[in-house]
């Protein structure tokens, strides 16, 4: 059953990406369907990350919410970093902080680490079990719980529902 679920998820993901790139033309959709099926058959045993994805209405809703939250955080952090760079005093206090995540799945932790890195002002340096080491442009506290709340919590509650 896991293999079938993984195959269906891979196919849907690939076909969705194909559709976004090519648009809605019958020939391209047919060609994309065949290409996606071939790729799914070839790489099914290698794509273990799709096993951790939950397929429930709640997880699909949280996936959409996560994309919106990520875009909002991306825009906010871009303005924050730009205002710090434009300020003649350059008000930064950079350093590396340790944060804790509640996520258990590998793909959930990967997406969290990448979300942190893609957000300006933070960079995931290392991950060890439930701890991430983050380079932060403006350290306001050294407390693990406080830094986790400020950096990780905004993404984590959505990823926990999507991946566990």
pLDDT of 163 higher than 70:
yes
Q: Quick one: residue 32, left, alpha or beta (phi over 0 = left, psi -120 to 50 = alpha)?
A: alpha
Beta strands 122-128; 95-100: pairing state: unpaired
pLDDT of 33 higher than 80:
yes
Q: What is the pLDDT of residue 1?
A: 64
| Helix (H/G/I), strand (E/B), else coil: 57 | helix
Contact indicator for 66, 156 with CB cutoff of 8 Å: no
Bridge partner list, 99: 132
State pLDDT tens for residues 43-97.
Answer: 888 877 777 777 788 988 999 999 999 999 999 999 999 999 999 888 899 999 9
Total length of the chain: 164
pLDDT of 37 higher than 90:
yes
User: What is the model's pTM?
Assistant: 0.78
**The dihedral of CA 80, 82, 84, 87: what is its sign?**
negative
| Helix (H/G/I), strand (E/B), else coil: 100 | strand
| Helix (H/G/I), strand (E/B), else coil: 122 | strand
């Amino acid at each position: 059953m896991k293999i079938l679920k993984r195959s269906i998820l891979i196919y849907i993901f690939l076909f969705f990406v194909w559709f976004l790139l090519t648009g809605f033309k019958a020939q391209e959709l047919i060609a994309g369907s065949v290409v996606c099926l071939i790729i799914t058959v070839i790489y099914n045993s290698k794509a273990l990350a799709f096993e951790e994805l939950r397929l429930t209405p709640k997880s699909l809703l949280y996936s959409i919410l996560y994309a919106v939250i990520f875009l909002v955080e991306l825009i906010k952090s871009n303005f924050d970093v730009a205002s710090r760079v434009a300020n003649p005093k350059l008000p930064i206090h950079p350093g590396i902080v340790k944060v804790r995540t509640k996520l258990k799945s590998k793909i959930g932790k990967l997406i969290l680490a990448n979300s942190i890195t893609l957000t300006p002002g933070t960079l995931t340096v290392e991950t060890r079990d439930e701890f991430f080491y983050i380079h932060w442009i403006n350290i306001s506290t050294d407390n693990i719980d406080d830094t986790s709340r400020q950096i990780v919590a905004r993404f984590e509650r959505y990823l926990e529902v999507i991946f566990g």
